[in-house]
């Protein structure tokens, strides 16, 4: 029987991919790649782009094409057989990739090309590919002794397994908790849509009444609207103790030892490579030049923001006493009381806005905004298999009706799907032998699903999340770079990768943008001017509190990876407590174990890089300020951003691309103004 992972020539055949196909496909692609690499290095001693780099790009591209649907299914359709196959295959792939990046013969061959006369004749992107390869060889320990190379390889294999385990623990712990409620009076305060969601969740499990889960739409509804303080506390405790030594499933999926092992191994790997800390190792591939620059950036923002955040918190605490009869404001009261205060100050709520953001209208408007900015047309396609009935697939065409990109959208929360929102590569653009391969992306969110026959209605927060992930998608899909390792988001400095995503969020706040994405789901009435004005007035409500929360995450992450002496979960907690004392205005209860679910840094790519969100926000706000000057749909400015940022991918340094677009280095003023912090 043919293995569909090995025989696919285009889009993944999801209906045919089974767990039993995974490991044999990975074994075969690794062996095949090893054989090809050996042939490349033994056929000649004089190498050039066509004889070495182009084939190497092809090898890596084929591996990504096979691994990406496996990795994707593991995130959106998790089950025991697939999880086992994934966990058995991932260390093998890591081992192979580390061995390639430690191959001295390959390193010397690429270095030979760098020193040859041919190098000067290569285009800018080709030079970037070569320079990145040489940098990454050094960062993989190509210069180490044989025993140290082996040690580093083992560390990397163990790290990928631990990071997967961390993510699985969070998923399993979250899925294990639910609360069955039969008396509707226990859910007083919830709007009709949230009640309907709880009823639908119960019905899906063949239960009467209502079900509360830790999936974000359910969690958000309880924390924001439930009048029952005891219910909010119960749900909050279950959520913030997931995968930890605390809470209703204490120690069952405990990430404590996983965290200890991850930070210890990262420190060991950094030391082997000659770095004093993992933070230094992390910055070797980022825009920021050194750890002090990052810490100064975060500290400066904290000093600007914290006084405002304290004022916002004080206002909230006073309102809680006077209007909500809550004398002591607890962590599980923050979202609830904030929503009440917001409604009193601005007479607006997310719930009031939802009828104006039916999902089909939002998607159609999003595509129209992309068309007005860049001239591309997006249309739904039925030419692809999907992994779930709710998944849709789209084509992107240019004005010549040429297909230039495709993407899947999987937007709703469900069981066995990783939480959060993310964009992932399915296929990266390439041009081998004159044949351009169209890039393909996965866009994933966890929005409130449709209730019954009614179309799904989004909160405005969910709308901005969709625009954010589609910004990442455009970065991947609109690239004109022909070499996969620097095409789209590949090879982009991690602290610049959030620029296109945060940049897209701006159109969710502009009247001209909202006119395209918002209309009442029943009457098609546009968003009323009065409601829009309230929405803008409330835009920066508690923005300082939100900012210090992000700074808390960023400083905790960066300081954790700056200190090689931290090796126990108690020290991790102590550091988090210290950071909170420095910047936070909300003190969580002692049982809070935020770090045990901090997947961005312990299971994702943000270790010593969570600051990137704030760093890139400076870039995105400053980039959008040019549209504010010229007009938010000014085509020339849109094409300028397209040609200097989106199309270039990782083929040039991020700062150079920003300067090419903006005409100068980034300035923080626009961010402070947009956030109401100036």
What residues are annotated to the active site? 469
Closest residue by Cα to residue 211 from 219, 221, 201: 201
DSSP 590: T
Q: Angle at Cα 416 formed by Cα 206 and Cα 169, nearest 5°?
A: 120
As a dihedral over the C-alpha atoms of residue 633, residue 635, residue 641, residue 642, rounded to 10 degrees, the angle is 120
The SS3 call for residue 440 is: strand
* CB-based contacts of 461-464 (< 8 A; 24+ apart in sequence): 461/350, 462/357, 463/357, 463/362, 463/508, 463/517, 464/505, 464/508
State the alpha helices, DSSP H only, in 478-568. Answer: 499-504, 511-517, 529-537, 543-562
Q: CA 58, CA 63: separation in Å to the nearest integer?
A: 9
Token pair 């030079």 in the structure block, residue: 127
Q: Are 429 and 648 in contact (CB under 8 A)?
A: no
Residue 383 vs residues 10, 15, 289, 407: alpha-carbon distances, Å: 11, 14, 45, 11
Q: Are 654 and 648 in contact (CB under 8 A)?
A: no
Q: CA 36, CA 55: separation in Å to the nearest integer?
A: 9
Residue 469 vs residues 319, 410, 557, 598: alpha-carbon distances, Å: 35, 11, 23, 19
Q: CA 9, CA 536: separation in Å to the nearest integer?
A: 48
Sequence-distant (6+) residues with CB within 8 A of 205 are: 211
| Helix (H) or strand (E) run with residue 311 in it | helix 291-323
Q: Are 464 and 508 in contact (CB under 8 A)?
A: yes
Q: Are 394 and 406 in contact (CB under 8 A)?
A: yes
Q: CA 513, CA 517: separation in Å to the nearest integer?
A: 7
Q: CA 237, CA 59: separation in Å to the nearest integer?
A: 47
Q: How far is CA 357 from the centre of its chain?
A: 23
Residue 146 vs residues 104, 105, 229: alpha-carbon distances, Å: 11, 14, 60
Q: Are 507 and 470 in contact (CB under 8 A)?
A: no
- Work out the burial of residue 147: count CB atoms within 10 Å of its CB; fewer than 13 is exposed, 13-18 middle, 19 or more buried: exposed
Return the exposure string of 347-362: e unless at least 16 CB atoms fall within 10 Å of the residue's CB, then b.
Answer: ebbbbebbbbbbbebb
């Amino acid at each position: 029987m043919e293995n569909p992972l090995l025989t696919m020539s285009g889009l993944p055949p999801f209906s045919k991919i089974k767990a039993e196909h995974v490991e044999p496909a990975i074994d075969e692609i690794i062996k095949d790649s090893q054989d090809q690499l050996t042939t490349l290095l033994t056929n000649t001693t004089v190498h050039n782009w066509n004889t070495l780099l182009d084939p190497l790009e092809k090898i890596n591209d084929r591996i990504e094409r096979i691994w990406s649907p496996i990795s994707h299914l593991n995130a959106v359709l998790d089950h025991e057989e697939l999880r086992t196959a994934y966990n058995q295959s991932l260390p093998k792939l890591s081992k192979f990739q580390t061995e390639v990046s430690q191959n001295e013969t390959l390193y010397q061959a690429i270095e030979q090309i760098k020193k040859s006369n041919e190098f000067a004749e290569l285009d800018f992107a080709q030079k970037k590919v070569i320079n990145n390869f040489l940098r990454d060889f050094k960062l993989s320990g190509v210069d180490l002794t044989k025993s140290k190379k082996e040690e580093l390889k083992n560390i990397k294999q163990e790290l990928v397994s631990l990071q997967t385990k961390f993510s699985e623990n969070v998923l399993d712990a979250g899925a294990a908790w639910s609360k069955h409620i039969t008396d509707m009076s226990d859910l007083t305060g919830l709007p009709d849509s949230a009640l309907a969601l709880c009823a639908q969740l119960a019905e899906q499990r063949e239960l009467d009444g209502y079900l509360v889960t830790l999936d974000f739409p359910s969690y958000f509804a309880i924390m924001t609207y439930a009048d029952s303080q005891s219910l909010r506390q119960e749900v909050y405790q279950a959520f913030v103790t997931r995968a930890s030594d605390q809470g209703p499933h204490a120690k069952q999926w405990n990430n404590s030892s996983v965290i200890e092992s991850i930070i210890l191994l990262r420190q060991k790997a950094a030391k082997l490579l000659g770095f004093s800390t993992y933070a230094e190792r992390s910055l070797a591939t980022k825009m920021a030049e050194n750890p002090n620059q990052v810490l100064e950036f975060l500290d400066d923002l904290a000093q600007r923001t914290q006084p405002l955040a304290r004022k916002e918190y004080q206002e909230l605490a006073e309102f809680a006493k006077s209007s909500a009869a809550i004398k002591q404001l607890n962590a599980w009261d923050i979202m609830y009381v904030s929503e009440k205060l917001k409604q009193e100050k601005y007479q607006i709520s997310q719930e009031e806005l939802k009828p104006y953001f039916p999902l089909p209208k939002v998607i159609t408007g999003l595509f129209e905004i992309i068309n007005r900015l860049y001239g591309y047309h997006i249309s739904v396609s039925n030419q692809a298999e999907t992994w779930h009935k709710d998944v849709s697939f789209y084509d992107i065409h240019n004005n010549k009706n040429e297909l230039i990109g495709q993407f899947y959208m999987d937007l709703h929360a469900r069981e066995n799907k990783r939480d959060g929102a993310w964009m992932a590569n399915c296929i990266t653009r390439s041009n081998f032998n004159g044949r351009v391969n169209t890039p393909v992306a996965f866009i994933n969110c966890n929005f409130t699903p449709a209730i019954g026959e009614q179309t799904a209605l989004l909160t405005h927060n969910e709308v901005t999340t969709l625009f954010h992930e589609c910004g990442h998608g455009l970065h991947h899909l609109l690239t004109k770079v022909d070499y996969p390792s620097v095409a789209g988001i590949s090879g982009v400095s991690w602290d610049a990768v959030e620029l296109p995503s945060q940049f897209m969020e701006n159109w969710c706040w502009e009247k001209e943008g909202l006119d395209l994405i918002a209309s009442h789901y029943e009457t098609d009435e546009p968003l009323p001017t009065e409601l829009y004005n309230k929405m803008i007035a409330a835009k920066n409500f508690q923005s300082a509190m939100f900012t210090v929360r992000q700074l808390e995450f960023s400083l905790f992450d960066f300081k954790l990876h700056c200190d090689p002496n931290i090796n126990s979960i108690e020290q991790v907690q102590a550091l988090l407590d210290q950071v909170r004392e420095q910047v936070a205005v909300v003190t969580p209860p002692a049982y809070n174990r935020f770090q045990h679910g901090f997947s961005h840094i312990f299971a994702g790519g943000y270790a010593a890089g969570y600051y990137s969100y704030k760093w890139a926000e400076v870039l995105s706000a400053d980039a959008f300020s040019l549209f504010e000057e010229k007009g938010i749909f000014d085509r020339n400015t849109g094409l300028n951003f397209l040609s200097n940022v989106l199309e270039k991918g990782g083929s040039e340094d991020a700062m150079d691309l920003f300067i090419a677009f903006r005409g100068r280095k980034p300035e923080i003023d626009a961010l402070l103004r947009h956030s109401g912090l100036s």
